[in-house]
Structure 1
Amino acid sequence: MTVTKLADVNLFDAETQRCPYDAYKTLRDEAPVYQCPATGMYVITRFDDVRQILTDTEHFTNETAYLTDATEPSPRALAVRNTFQEEGWVPAKTLNGRDDPDHKAVRSVFNDAFRPKKIEALEDEVRDLAYQLIDDFIDDGHCEWVKQFAIPLPLLIIGKQMGANPDDIWQIKEWTEAFFHRISLMQSEDEELISVRKEIEAQHYFQPIFERLREKPDDSLLSALVNTVIDEWGRPLNDNELHAEMMADTFVGGSETTTNAISAGVKLLIENPLAWEQLKSDPDRYLKVFIEEVLRLESPVQSLMRATAKDVELSGVTIPAGSLINIRFAAANRDERRFENPDVLDLDRPRAGGHMAFGSGKHHCLGAPLARRELHWSFKALVDRIDSMWFAEGKNDFSYHPHYLLRAMKTLHIEFKAK
C-alpha cells in the first residue's frame, strides 16, 4: 500500500504493516504528532520527538495502565484478568511498564544478569550454534530461513538461560508467539483468550523451574532473576512478576525481536546484491555497520506505548496530560532530518549505531549486547558458508504477522550456492 495522503494512513491495516514506510514518511512530513481518529492516541514519528519522549521523565510516563484506572475495566480486560487469576498467575507490570524508582530497582536485577562478563561467557555458544544451524541445511542448497535458523538461534540461547529443555524449543515458541500476538492490538477477544491460555501453559511449565532454583540456585540468568533480592523492596521478584518478565523481557525481548532482525537482514542482502558483495569482500570491516543498518531500517520493535504525565508540546502540537502516546521507533529511524538517504542500506554510513532500534535513555534495551552478538555470528556464519543466495521462486509472499507494535516476517524461503 503506497500512502500519498494523510487520510490514507491506517497503521492497523495489515497491508500497511507489511510495508509501513510510505505511511511513516507521510506522518513525519505532514503530521509528526498525529492523533489517530480511531483510538485517540498520539502517534509520534520524528527522531527528535521520539528521543525527547524517551528521555523526558517529567512529562512522559511508562505506566500507561493508569489511564484506565479511573474507569471500570472493560468486560474484555476483566475476562483476560479472570482467566489468568483462575488458571495461572496474573502477570505483574513488566520492566518496560515501570517508572523509577520501581524501574531502577527491577532493572538492577537484569543489570547483574546481563553484565558484560555473562554475555562474553555465551560467545562461544552463540558462535558454535550459528555454524551448526547453517551446516544442518548447507548441503540442501535451500532453506526456510526463519524456521531453520532465525527462530532457533536466539531461542535456544535464551531458553538455556531460562532453564528450559532444548527439546521443548518449539513448544516454547508456540507460547511466546501467543504472547506476541496477544500484545499485537490486532486480536479479537476470542483470539486473545486463546493466547492467554497458551501463556498459562507456559506459566505452569516454568513455575516448577522457579521453585527448583529457589532451592538450588545455579549460574543461569533465570536463577539470578528468581533469587536476587531487590534492595529497595527487601525481596526478590514474586511469581507474578517472574511470569511477566519471562514472557515480555526475556523470551519475546530476548528471542523474538532478534529472530526478526536475523530474518530481515537476509532479505535485505538479497534485495541489495551490491551490499552483499561488499559485506563478503571484507566482513571484518562491514559487518558491524551492516548489523546497525538492519536494526535501523527494519526495527523489529516498530513502536511502544507511553503516556503524558503533564501537558506537553511536541512539534507545535499540545498533548494533554493523560494521553496515550505511540512512539514509532521505525519511523524515527528513517527520518530524513536525522539520516542522509534514510531508506538506503549503506555499509559506509557514518555513526551507523545512532538509531533507536533498542530505545534510548533509562529504558534502553538491556539485551542489546547479546542481540548484537547473536546478529554478528548469524551473519558471519552466513558469509563464511554461502557464496550466493536468492529468493526461492514461487515460495515467498513476504507476509508479516499482523502487529501494531512489532515487525515479524512469517517465512523466508531462500536458495543458495555454498562455498
Structure 2
Amino acid sequence: MVTGSDELLEVMKNNRDFSSIIALQGAAAPLPFQPEGADIAAEIEANRPKFLGGDLLVNYDDQRHAFSRALLSRLFTPSRLRANEKFISEYSEQLVRDAVANGGVELIKTISTPFVTMVIADLLGVPVEDRQIFMDAIEAGPPPGSLDQNENDYTAETHPLVVMGADFMNYVQDRRANPRDDVMSELANAKYPDGSTPEAIEIVNLTTFLFGAGQDTSAKLLGNAMRYIIDQPGLQDRLRADPSLIPQLLEEVLRLEGSSKQTTRLARRDTQIGGVKIPAGTKVMLCLGGANRDPRRWEDPNAFVLDRPRIREHLAFGRGAHVCAGAPLARVEVRVILEKFLEHAADIDMDEAKHGPRGARRLAYEPSFIIRGLSELHLKLTPSAA
C-alpha cells in the first residue's frame, strides 16, 4: 500500500516497471498465474484474457493503451466540450428548478446519477430515444468495485457494461456501414495513430467503459461537493456571491473526498518505490486518498481550505499515462449544476430527519473498494427570491 504523494507519482509515471492490468480487479484478488523471474511482462500479456477487465482501457499498457487513448481524445476537444456544456446547462437547469420547486430532493439517485448519465450519453452521441435504457441499466447495476464479489462479474448478462455493449455494437456497425455527421460515426470510423482500423469490439469496450466509469465518479463528486457546501460554515453564501470560486471548491473536494479511493498496479519488473525494493509480481495499491492528505505535501491536510495554494496538484484524477481522460468533463458538469443550485436556492441544507443535525450527521457511503461516494443525500431547498 502506497500512501505518500511523492511515492504515488513515482509509480504512476513509471510505466516501464508497473502494469495497470489489475486496475479493475484490485490488489486483493489473486493473480491468474504464478509470477516467475525478475521480468514478468511477457507472462502478463500471455495471461491478459484471464484478468478481470483485461480488454478494457483502464487495464491496458504500452502501445495498446496509447492507441486507445488517442481514440478517446477525439471526445474531449475544447469545441466538443463547449457544445456538450450547452446541453449540460439546459438539462441541469430543468433538474434543479424542479427540485427547488418541490422544496427538496434526494440528490444522488434523483439528480446526480441521471444527470451525469445523460451528459455522457450526449457527449457520445447516444440517440435520445435510447438514453433511458442506459440510465435504467446503470441504476440497476452494482457500484464499481463492489464489496460483494458476486456483483463484480463484468460478463453477466445484467451487468450495465454488457447491456450497453450490445447497443454500442449496433451503433458502431451501423455507423461504419452508414456514416453520419455525429460523434458516434467519428468514433466508429476512427483510425489508430499508425493508420490501422480498430476492431469494432475495441470501440464498444472503450465507449461502454467510459460511460460506466465516468458517470459514477462524477455523480459521487457532486454529492461529495454538496456535503461540503452545506456543512462548511458560510461557504454556500460565499459561493453564491462569487460563483467563480466553485472550481476552487471542486479541486479541494477532489483532494479531500476524491471519487476514486485507490487504483492498483502490478510490478512487471524488479523495481523500487521510495527506495524500497519491489519484486516483479508484487501487487501495489495506490491510495489516492492517502496521498491527497499527505502532511509532507499538504499543510493542515485534513482541513478544508477553499483557496489552498497549488490545489490542482492533487492526485484525485491520477497522473501520468493513465490520468483520467474524463477529468475536463467532470469539472465542467459538476461546476455547472452547482451554479444552478446556488442560483435557484437561497439555502441548501440536509434533511435532518434523514441525516441528523449539523455536527452529528448520519451518512452512508457506497460499499466499494474503488468509489468514495454517498449512497444517498436528502436535501432541503429554499427557493431564491428570483
1:126 correspondence with 2:73:
no
1:203 correspondence with 2:203:
no
Per-residue deviation, 1:185: 5.3
Q: Percent identity?
A: 26
TM-score (norm 1): 0.78
Per-residue deviation, 1:387: 1.4
The structure carrying a bigger helix percent of its residues is 1
Query: Which string of whole-angstrom CA distances, capped at 9 and with x for unpartnered residues, describes residues 144-198 of structure 1?
Result: 11123211222111113334344554542343366654x5152243x44597221
Per-residue deviation, 1:213: 1.6
SS in 1 for 2:198: coil
| Cα separation, 1, equivalents of 2:226 and 2:279 | 42
Q: Which residue of 2 aligns with 1:212?
A: 174
Q: Which residue of 2 aligns with 1:25?
A: none
CA contact (8 A) 2:261 2:371 kept: yes
1:415 correspondence with 2:374:
no
| Cα separation, 1, equivalents of 2:95 and 2:273 | 47
Q: Which residue of 1 aligns with 2:208?
A: 247
Query: Which string of whole-angstrom CA distances, capped at 9 and with x for unpartnered residues, describes residues 123-144 of structure 1?
Result: 2111122211101221111111
| Cα separation, 1, equivalents of 2:241 and 2:125 | 40
Counting only pairs closer than 5 Å after superposition, residues 56-71 of structure 1 correspond to structure 2 as 56-64=14-22, 67-70=31-34
Counting only pairs closer than 5 Å after superposition, residues 174-213 of structure 1 correspond to structure 2 as 174-176=136-138, 181=143, 183-184=144-145, 186-189=147-150, 191-193=151-153, 196-199=156-159, 200-213=162-175
CA contact (8 A) 1:178 1:195 kept: no
Query: Which string of whole-angstrom CA distances, capped at 9 and with x for unpartnered residues, describes residues 301-348 of structure 1?
Result: 111111112222324532211111111112111111111122222112
Q: Which residue of 1 aligns with 2:42?
A: none
Q: Which residue of 1 aligns with 2:59?
A: 97
Matched AA of 1:274: G
Q: Which residue of 1 aligns with 2:104?
A: 142
Per-residue deviation, 1:52: 0.7
Q: Please, which of 54, 71, 77 is the counterpart of residue 12 of structure 2?
A: 54
Q: Which residue of 1 aligns with 2:27?
A: none
Q: CA 1:170 to 1:195, structure 2 compared with 1: closer, same or farther past 3 Å? A: farther
Per-residue deviation, 1:219: 4.4
SS in 2 for 1:56: coil
CA contact (8 A) 1:143 1:413 kept: yes
| Cα separation, 1, equivalents of 2:33 and 2:200 | 23
Q: CA 1:357 to 1:193, structure 2 compared with 1: closer, same or farther past 3 Å? A: closer
| Cα separation, 1, equivalents of 2:152 and 2:22 | 20
Per-residue deviation, 1:289: 0.6
SS in 1 for 2:187: helix
Q: CA 1:138 to 1:265, structure 2 compared with 1: closer, same or farther past 3 Å? A: same
Matched AA of 1:245: L
Q: Which residue of 2 aligns with 1:287?
A: 246
SS in 1 for 2:157: helix
Per-residue deviation, 1:297: 1.2
| Cα separation, 1, equivalents of 2:187 and 2:352 | 46
- Give the unaligned 5+ runs of structure 1: 1-42, 72-80, 83-89
Matched AA of 2:242: D
Q: CA 1:64 to 1:353, structure 2 compared with 1: closer, same or farther past 3 Å? A: same
Matched AA of 1:296: R
SS in 2 for 1:44: coil
| Cα separation, 1, equivalents of 2:364 and 2:337 | 22
Q: Please, which of 151, 155, 162 is the counterpart of residue 117 of structure 2?
A: 155
Matched AA of 2:18: F
CA contact (8 A) 2:21 2:54 kept: no
SS in 2 for 1:151: helix
